[in-house]
Amino acid sequence: MAQAPLVPDHDGAKRPEEPQPPLGSWPKFYLLVALVHVAVVAALIVFSNAYRIPVVPR
Amino acid sequence: MRWIDWAVCIAFLLYMVWTGLRRGKDAKSLEGYYAGNRKIPWWAAGLSVMGTQISAVTILGLTSQAHETDMGFVQTYFGLPFAMIVLSIFMVPMYRSRALLTAYEFLEGRFGPATRALASLGFLVFRCIAIGIGLYAAAVVLSQMLGMPMWTAVVMIAALATLYTVVAGVVGVVWSDVRQMAIIGLGLLAVLGILLAHLLPHLSLRDMLEVCGAAGKLNPVSVQPESVEFVPRTLADVAAGVGEKSFWEQKYNLWAGLFGGLFLHMSYFGCDFSQAQRMLTSKTVHESRLALLLSAFAKVPLQACILFLGVLIWLFYAVEGGPMLFRPEQIRAAQEPQHAARMAEMQQRYDQATAHRRELLLALAAGPEDAAHHPRLAEYQAAVADVAGIRKQARQLVGDPKDDDDTNFIFCRFAFDHLPPVVLGLIIAAIFAAAIASSAAEMNALSAATIVDLYRRWIARRRDERHYVFAGRVATFLWGAFAAVSAMTLAGGGSVIETINRVGSLFYGSLLGVFALAALVRRAGAWAGALSFVLGLCTVFAVHLTLKVEFLWYNVIGCVAVVVYGWLISRFEPRRSAAA
C-alpha cells in the first residue's frame, strides 16, 4: 500500500498528509442542504405572516 | 426539589462524567488528547458541535427570551447552514490537509508565527471571557433555584467538567456532549408534552397560535427591515436623539440573520477552536463534512422549537395564571417589610390584569372570526401590555437597580412549579449537563491553544509526548480553575446568550478575515496576515465605540476589513515563494 506523503509540521514534527478525496456527489448534497434550509426559512416566513397580527390602537 | 429529582439529576451527571472518564485511555499523546486520534465517528462529532453550542444559557435564555419578546431570535441562525456549506467546501480540506492540532497552526504555515500567535492569543482572550460568562449564567440561575450558594453551583459545574476533560481530553468532551444532547432532547420533549397536555383542554392548536400571534409572541421572521436608511448613526447622534434609525440598528431581521449570521457562524464554527476542533477529530474529510452538515440540517428547527417552547410557557401562564416575579431574590425582597404594602397593592393589580387578560384570551379563542378581526383584539393587546408593564414595575421596585432583569429565570420557575417528579430532575440534569459540557469543550480548546500554539511552539520545543500531554492536563485544570474564579467574580444580567454573541462578534469577524485572506489573496504574506488582523480588530472596535450598528454586522465588517487591509498591504510586500 502506498505510504501517504509526509509534510513538515510547523513545530518540526512530521505528520502524514491526508489525501484529498474527489468531489463525488458532494455538490449535490450541498445543494440539498441549501434547498432544505430555504424550505425551512420559507415555511417560517409563511408561519410568520399567517400569525403576525399588528397592535391595534384602542 | 424532591429527592427523586435529585436522584435522577445526580445519577445522570455521574453517568455523563463516567462516560467521559472511561475514554481516558485514548489520550496518551497530543494527537489523542486534542484530536481523539482522529477516530471519532461523524455523528458523534456532529452532535458534539451542537452540544458545545447549546449551553445552559441556550435553554434558559432562549425560552425566556421568547416568553418576554417573540421568536425573532431564530433569524440569527438563518446564515448557519450556508456557513456550514462554505466551511465544508473550503475549511475542512484546508484543516485536514496538514493533520493540525489547532486551527491556528494553519496560519503559521501560511503567514508565519506572528499571525498564528496573534490569532491564538485572541482566541484565548475571548474564550476566557466567554467561559466565565457562560459558567456564571448557569450557576446564578441554578444556585438561586436550588437554594444553594453561588460558589457551590460554580464549583460543581467546573469540577465535573474539569475532571473528565483533564483525564480524557477531547474524546471525553465529545462523548459526554452526545449524552448531553440526548437528555436535552428528551427533557424538552417532555416539557412540550406537559405544556400541550395543560393547554389543549382550553385551546385548540390553531387558537393557541392565534392568541400568541395577537399578543406579538410569534413573528419568527421579519422580512421588511424597519428602516432602509443605510447610513449608520453615530452613538453621539443616538444619545442626542438626532437622525433617523438606520438599517444596521435592527437586531433581528431576515437580512441580518442571513448575512451577519453567515459570517458569525463561519467565524464561530470555522475559526473558534472550541468548535473548529471537531473538524480535526473525525476519521476523514468526508466525516468532518458530515459532522458540520448535521448542524446545518438540525440547528434552525431545533432553535425554533426551543423558542416556541418559551411562547407556550407564556401561553400557559396567560391561561393558568403566573407569578409576578420569577427571580427568587426578588421574591424574597418583595416579602421584606419596606416593600410589603406597595407589593400587596401591585399584586392585587397584577391579579386583576391577568384575570382580565385570561378572559379576553379565551374570548378571542372562542370567537367565530380570526383573532385578527375580533372586536376585542385591541382590548386583549392592551391587557397583554398591562400585565407586562406591572411585572416590570414590580421588578424595578424590589430588584437591584443595576440588574433587575429576570429573563433567565422564567424557564426554571416554570420547571420548579409545574413539572412532575422525574421530569424536573431530567430538566435540571439537562441544564447542568449543558453547562458542564460547554465548559468542558472550552477548557479543552483553551488548553490546546495554550500548549500547542504557545507552550510547545515558544517555550518548550523539544520535549517528549508524555511531557506535552501532562502539560495539557495541567493547562486544562488551570483553565477550569480560572473559569470558576472568573464566574464567581462576574456580575451582570440580561440575556446572557446575546452578551456572549456580542462580545464574540467583536473578535470573530477579524479572525475569519485572516482565514479568508489566506484563501483569497495568494500574494499576502507574513506582514499582511499579522497587520491586517490587528487593523481589522481596531476597525471593529472603532465601529463599536462610535456607530450604532448591531453586533451581527461586526462579523461582516471585521472579515471584509481584514481582507481589504491584507490585500492592500500585500501590494507592498515582496512576492511569496511557491514553497511558502
pLDDT in tens, B262-301: 999 999 999 999 999 999 999 999 999 999 999 898 999 9
**Mind telling me how many Å the CA of B37 is from chain A's nearest CA?**
13
Which of A7, A33, A56 is the closest to B377 by Cβ? A56
- The answer to whether residues B43 and B289 touch, using CB atoms and an 8 Å cutoff, is no
What's the complex ipTM? 0.86
CB of A44 within 8 Å of a chain B CB? The answer is yes
List chain B residues with CB under 8 Å of A55: 216, 381
Q: Which helix (H) or strand (E) holds B458?
A: none
Contact yes or no for A41 and B96 at CB 8 A: no
Task: Kindly indicate the confidence band of residue B529, based on its pLDDT and cuts at 50, 70 and 90.
Answer: very high
For the CA atoms of B308, B310, B311, B314, the dihedral, rounded to the nearest 10 degrees, stands at 160
pLDDT value of position B496: 60
Using a CB–CB cutoff of 8 Å, tell me whether A56 touches chain B: yes
Nearest CA in chain A to B206: A51
CB contacts of B210 in chain A (<8 Å) are 51, 53
The average pLDDT across B225-252 equals 88
Q: What is the DSSP letter of B201?
A: T
pLDDT of B399 reads 79
**Helix, strand, coil percentages, rounded to 5, for chain B:** 80, 0, 20
**pLDDT at residue B510, as a whole number:** 94
Q: What is the pLDDT of residue B27?
A: 87
Query: Has this prediction a pTM greater than 0.80?
Result: yes
Instruction: Report how many Cβ contacts below 8 Å link chain A to chain B.
Output: 101
pLDDT mean over B30-45 = 94
- Beta-bridge partners for B282: B40
**A43–B contact, CB cutoff 8 A:** no
Contact yes or no for B99 and A15 at CB 8 A? yes
Q: Taking all residues of chain B, what is their mean pLDDT, rounded to a whole number? A: 91
Q: Does A29 touch chain B (CB under 8 A)?
A: yes
State the number of CA atoms in the 13 A half-sphere of B511 facing the CB: 30
CB within 8 Å: A20 and B93: yes
**Rounded (10°) angle between helices B423-448 and B3-21:** 30
Of the listed ranges B129-143, B476-490, B505-519, the least confidently predicted one is: B129-143
Give residue A57's pLDDT band: very low, low, confident or very high (50, 70, 90). confident
Nearest CA in chain B to A42: B221
Contact B300 A37 (CB under 8 A): yes
With cell 500585500, the residue in question is B570
Average pLDDT value for residue range B417-428: 94
The predicted-structure confidence for B316-357, as pLDDT tens digits, reads as follows 999 998 899 998 889 999 999 998 899 999 999 999 999 999
Q: Are B84 and B421 in contact (CB under 8 A)?
A: no
- The alpha carbon of residue B458 is apart from the nearest alpha carbon of chain A, in Å, by 10
Q: Which residues 1-20 of A have a C-beta within 8 angstroms of B?
A: 7, 9-12, 15-18, 20
- A-chain residues near B221 (CB < 8 A): 41, 44-45, 48
- Kindly tell me the burial class for residue B580, based on how many C-beta atoms sit within 10 Å of its own C-beta (0-12, 13-18, 19 or more): exposed
For B209-271, give the secondary structure using H, E and C: HHHHHHCCCCCCCCCCCCCCCCCCCEHHHHHHCCCCCCHHHCCCCHHHHHHHHHHHHHHHHHH
Over range B466-487, report the average pLDDT. Answer: 94
Q: Are B320 and B362 in contact (CB under 8 A)?
A: no
Q: Which of B42, B86, B98, B265 to mutate to test the interface with A (most CBs of A within 10 A)?
A: B98
Centroid of chain to Cα B416: 23
Q: Which residues of B touch A36 (CB under 8 A)?
A: 81, 297
Q: In whole angstroms, how large is the CA radius of gyration of chain B?
A: 25
Give the model's confidence band at A1: pLDDT under 50 very low, under 70 low, under 90 confident, else very high: very low
Chain A positions in Cβ-Cβ contact with residue B82 (cut-off 8 Å): 34, 37
Higher pLDDT, B424 or B251: B424
Q: Which residues of B touch A51 (CB under 8 A)?
A: 209-210, 212-213, 218-219
d(CA A56, nearest CA chain B) in Å:
5
Given a contact cutoff of 8 angstroms between Cβ atoms, the answer to whether B125 and B511 are in contact is no
Contact B99 A17 (CB under 8 A): yes
Gap between the Cα atoms of B195 and B312, Å rounded: 7
Instruction: Give the Å distances, CA to CA, from B406 to B122, B403, B492, B497, B526.
Output: 32, 9, 11, 14, 48
Closest chain B residue to A25, measured at CA = B286
Torsion of CA B569, B265, B446, B467, to 10 degrees: -80
Residues from chain A that touch B283, judged by Cβ atoms under 8 A, are: none
pLDDT at B532: 96
Give strand pairing partners of B234.
B547
Burial-class residue B260 by CB neighbours within 10 Å (0-12, 13-18, 19+).
buried
CB < 8 Å to A44, chain B: 74, 220-221, 304
Listed in sequence order, the residues at least 6 apart from B568 whose beta carbon sits closer than 8 Å to its beta carbon are none
Q: Which residue has the higher pLDDT, A4 or B30?
A: B30
Mean pLDDT throughout B438-463? 94
**pLDDT-based confidence at residue B227 (cuts at 50, 70, 90):** confident
Whether A41 shows a pLDDT value over 60: the answer reads yes
- Separation between Cα atoms, residue A3 and residue B340, nearest integer Å: 79
Angstroms from A3 CA to nearest CA on chain B: 15
Q: What's the CA gap between B412 and B146, in Å, rounded?
A: 10
Angle at the Cα of B248 (from B243 to B251), degrees rounded to 5?
115
Q: Which of B85, B105, B218 sits opposite A10 (nearest CB)?
A: B105
Q: Is the pLDDT of residue B55 over 60?
A: yes
- Which amino acid, B119? A
Over B409-456, what HEC string results? HHHHHHHHHHCCCCHHHHHHHHHHHHHHHHHHHHHHHHHHHHHHHHHH
What share of chain B in percent tops pLDDT 90? 71
Q: Which residues pair with A15 in a beta bridge?
A: A7
The predicted pLDDT at position A19 comes to 60
A42–B contact, CB cutoff 8 A = no
- Name the strand (E) or helix (H) holding B480: helix B465-489
How many residues comprise chain B? 580
Residue in the structure block whose three cell numbers are 466525516? B287
Of residues A7, A40, A53, nearest to B371 (C-beta): A53
- Decide: B187 and B414 in contact? Cβ < 8 Å: no
Which whole number is the average pLDDT over B192-210? Answer: 94
- Number of residues in chain A: 58
The Cα–Cα gap between B327 and B349 comes to 19
Q: Which pLDDT band, with edges at 50, 70 and 90, does B448 fall under?
A: very high
| Contacts with B96 from chain A: Cβ below 8 Å | 18
